[in-house]
Chains A and B, each alone.
Chain A
């Protein structure tokens, strides 16, 4: 097993390395750094909204608009995607029994595009909102901020495409000849699925960014009605990428749960085949639903129906994953170490996020929820509740393998309780806030709307609990990476029995089939 941090290594050796485990560390650590930066922005927003009519922490609406824009961009492009790429980089070559990624140098190049893209996003600090709709981002966002955002996103998009190509070739072409594709672990399947989806979906966004830029420069009128264009064209191009993209954010976390649930239940996975089928189905059907972000743009009835059907059709696939997890746990001898707590918590929140999503997809109900805090609550239940929970679970799990030491289970418990409580308190409350009619992306709200004030205050307290949980997480990992008890490298979590960790040198079969 590779123990990167056990022996001190010069940082520059890791930084210039092309070995997949080193690139994985770079992705993961920079991803976590951006998570904290974007988290601070979120806490500023929530604190500011605690009292209406006050300029707490954020002095003016222009700054507020920039803060929520950069929060969204950072969490999605600089944390969620890179972190998944990091865990993918670490595990996928091992899971397909190959020595590295297919293109190690390209791998490192793709990583380094992330800090560069991130620098452009943060130095620009655009105020267009992360979706950057036309015409606002064309005619009402003058100056370098939006241009830097566009260039930064282009670089990040290319990075995503390059790393996807790398994963696809590694999994399909470099896997060991004795390993049939359908027996490759489900985490690798999730990475394969999202990589294929990225290669199909991302170029559309790259095109729309170029179109946005040329419109801004005044040399085209793609989204300008007076030149024969249409702002709705931007929305189609954008959501054609970003609906599949939300599944791209989600699937690696589900894949990580597939690594954890069978092991910590000390029971074989219920169905490898169902998992593969569900990933592939979601990968395909995810492309059929983008218009549900645009129900209120003036779409005709039939088009709305088609997109509603496309949206609903993807739900059974997610349901199959939940069933797979529950059926695996059923009758198992569960060891509720931190990774398992977070995985199971993540599944519960995934279910509630999905339930809210079914409501949104129902056309009439979407007219109540679109553009309100309901959507903010819904999407964060997926992003924080499923994706972040999955990522945290995976980090606790990988920690002993990477550092050779154990984290503190006591601190991890406190982290779990606070993160679960905080997530529920902010994001469930925001569903209610949305039903009360509070719009998104607003700097302030009328203080006479007492229900809005109360719900905002409850949500802010929840956000602080959530933020605090991350501080405990960070402290736990950093302290114990140096001072933690030495882990039993054969079985750090005391699972016992025949459930080999696939990436142990001792594992005779070194593939799934446990």
Chain B
């Protein structure tokens, strides 16, 4: 068979590294998925080929979304036609928009500024243009 201690040690090291990756991922993902109770719900709808938004108070926005720094927001993500994927890369907000499903992703912007929004699931000829803008303003209390 040709087995050697070195091989056992090697496999043990690989398994140890993977175990660490697994446990650390578990911990981080659990933390990331815990949506704070006071997060304001923002409805996000993806359709060919733009994003539209509805704030908790009913204000509607299209393509550009205005939010406040330091507040927690819980995106409720819908799709109208085909699969899309709602993504704010700078804040690692990323979740698919699937027809017939409601998905959630939450975040709390900690910087004022303008951040790109894009679609990250192929959705046709306008996929590359399905971009938007997140504008984070100073929080009013």
Q: Which residues of A contact B85 (CB under 8 A)?
A: 296, 371
Stretch at the interface among A11-19, A332-340, A443-451: A443-451
Is the beta-carbon distance between B2 and A274 smaller than 8 angstroms? yes
Q: How far is the CA of A140 from the CA of B123 in the complex (A)?
A: 9
Stretch at the interface among A155-163, A204-212, A304-312, A497-505: A304-312
CB within 8 Å for A135 and B99 given contacts A65-B124, A271-B2, A316-B11: yes
Q: Which residues of A contact B96 (CB under 8 A)?
A: 296-298
Does B74 belong to the interface (CB within 8 Å)?
no
Stretch at the interface among A143-151, A358-366, A454-462: A358-366
Q: Which residues of A contact B102 (CB under 8 A)?
A: 298
Closest residue on chain A to residue B103 by CB atoms:
A298
Interface residues in B1-30 by Cβ distance below 8 A to A read: 1-4, 6-7, 10-11, 14-15, 17-18, 21-22, 24-26, 28-30
Q: Which residues of B contact A136 (CB under 8 A)?
A: 82-83, 122-124
Is the beta-carbon distance between B24 and A362 smaller than 8 angstroms? yes
Is the beta-carbon distance between A437 and B94 smaller than 8 angstroms? no
Is the beta-carbon distance between B125 and A65 smaller than 8 angstroms? yes
Is the beta-carbon distance between B24 and A446 smaller than 8 angstroms? no
Closest residue on chain A to residue B6 by CB atoms:
A327
Q: Which residues of A contact B95 (CB under 8 A)?
A: 296, 298
Interface residues in A120-176 by Cβ distance below 8 A to B read: 127, 129, 133-136, 139-140
Partner of A297, one of B3, B25, B98, B104: B98
Does A270 belong to the interface (CB within 8 Å)?
yes
Does B54 belong to the interface (CB within 8 Å)?
no
Is the beta-carbon distance between B92 and A301 smaller than 8 angstroms? no
Is the beta-carbon distance between B30 and A367 smaller than 8 angstroms? no
Q: With both chains docked as a complex, state the minimum distance between the C-beta of B50 and any C-beta of chain A, in angstroms.
A: 15
Q: Which residues of B contact A270 (CB under 8 A)?
A: 2, 4, 7
CB within 8 Å for A323 and B10 given contacts A65-B124, A305-B26, A372-B120: yes
Partner of B100, one of A230, A296, A308, A372: A230
Q: How far is the CA of A440 from the CA of B122 in the complex (A)?
A: 8
Q: How far is the CA of A61 from the CA of B127 in the complex (A)?
A: 9
Q: Which residues of B contact A408 (CB under 8 A)?
A: none
Q: How far is the CA of A444 from the CA of B125 in the complex (A)?
A: 11
Does A494 belong to the interface (CB within 8 Å)?
no
Q: How many A-B residue pairs have CB under 8 A?
A: 165
Q: Which residues of A contact B29 (CB under 8 A)?
A: 301, 304-305, 363-364
Closest residue on chain B to residue A437 by CB atoms:
B89
Q: How far is the CA of A230 from the CA of B79 in the complex (A)?
A: 13
CB within 8 Å for A364 and B25 given contacts A61-B125, A316-B15: yes
**Chain A interface helix/strand/loop/mixed:** helix
Partner of B94, one of A61, A226, A312, A370: A370
Is the beta-carbon distance between B99 and A231 smaller than 8 angstroms? yes
Does B45 belong to the interface (CB within 8 Å)?
no
A interface size (C-beta, 8 A) = 59
Q: With both chains docked as a complex, state the minimum distance between the C-beta of B65 and any C-beta of chain A, in angstroms.
A: 17
Q: How far is the CA of A371 from the CA of B93 in the complex (A)?
A: 13
Closest residue on chain B to residue A323 by CB atoms:
B10
Partner of A271, one of B1, B18, B118: B1
Closest residue on chain A to residue B89 by CB atoms:
A437
Point out which of B2, B3, B33, B116 has the most chain A C-beta atoms below 10 A from its C-beta.
Answer: B2
Q: With both chains docked as a complex, state the minimum distance between the C-beta of B62 and any C-beta of chain A, in angstroms.
A: 19
Q: Which residues of A contact B83 (CB under 8 A)?
A: 133-136, 231
Interface residues in B30-86 by Cβ distance below 8 A to A read: 30, 32-33, 48, 81-83, 85
Closest residue on chain A to residue B119 by CB atoms:
A439
Q: How far is the CA of A365 from the CA of B126 in the complex (A)?
A: 27
Partner of A358, one of B21, B82, B103, B104: B21
Q: How far is the CA of A176 from the CA of B2 in the complex (A)?
A: 25
Closest residue on chain B to residue A271 by CB atoms:
B2
Q: With both chains docked as a complex, state the minimum distance between the C-beta of B15 and any C-beta of chain A, in angstroms.
A: 6
Q: With both chains docked as a complex, state the minimum distance between the C-beta of A499 and any C-beta of chain B, in angstroms.
A: 17
Closest residue on chain A to residue B121 by CB atoms:
A371
Is the beta-carbon distance between A443 and B128 smaller than 8 angstroms? yes
Is the beta-carbon distance between A140 and B124 smaller than 8 angstroms? yes
Does A368 belong to the interface (CB within 8 Å)?
yes
Is the beta-carbon distance between B3 and A271 smaller than 8 angstroms? yes
Q: How far is the CA of A367 from the CA of B131 in the complex (A)?
A: 18
Q: With both chains docked as a complex, state the minimum distance between the C-beta of A234 and any C-beta of chain B, in angstroms.
A: 10
Q: Which residues of A contact B87 (CB under 8 A)?
A: 371, 437, 439
Does A441 belong to the interface (CB within 8 Å)?
yes
Does A442 belong to the interface (CB within 8 Å)?
yes
Q: How far is the CA of A231 from the CA of B89 in the complex (A)?
A: 25
Partner of A320, one of B7, B81, B92, B100: B7
Partner of B14, one of A315, A363, A371, A439: A315
Q: How far is the CA of A358 from the CA of B85 in the complex (A)?
A: 23
Q: How far is the CA of A313 from the CA of B25 in the complex (A)?
A: 15
Q: How far is the CA of A371 from the CA of B121 in the complex (A)?
A: 6
- The 8 lowest CB-CB distance pairs between A and B, nearest first, are A225-B100, A437-B89, A442-B128, A371-B120, A271-B2, A298-B103, A362-B25, A136-B82
5 contacts between A and B (CB under 8 A): A135-B99, A136-B124, A229-B100, A297-B98, A298-B95
4 A-B pairs besides A139-B82, A301-B29, A301-B30 with CB distance below 8 A are: A304-B29, A316-B18, A320-B11, A364-B25
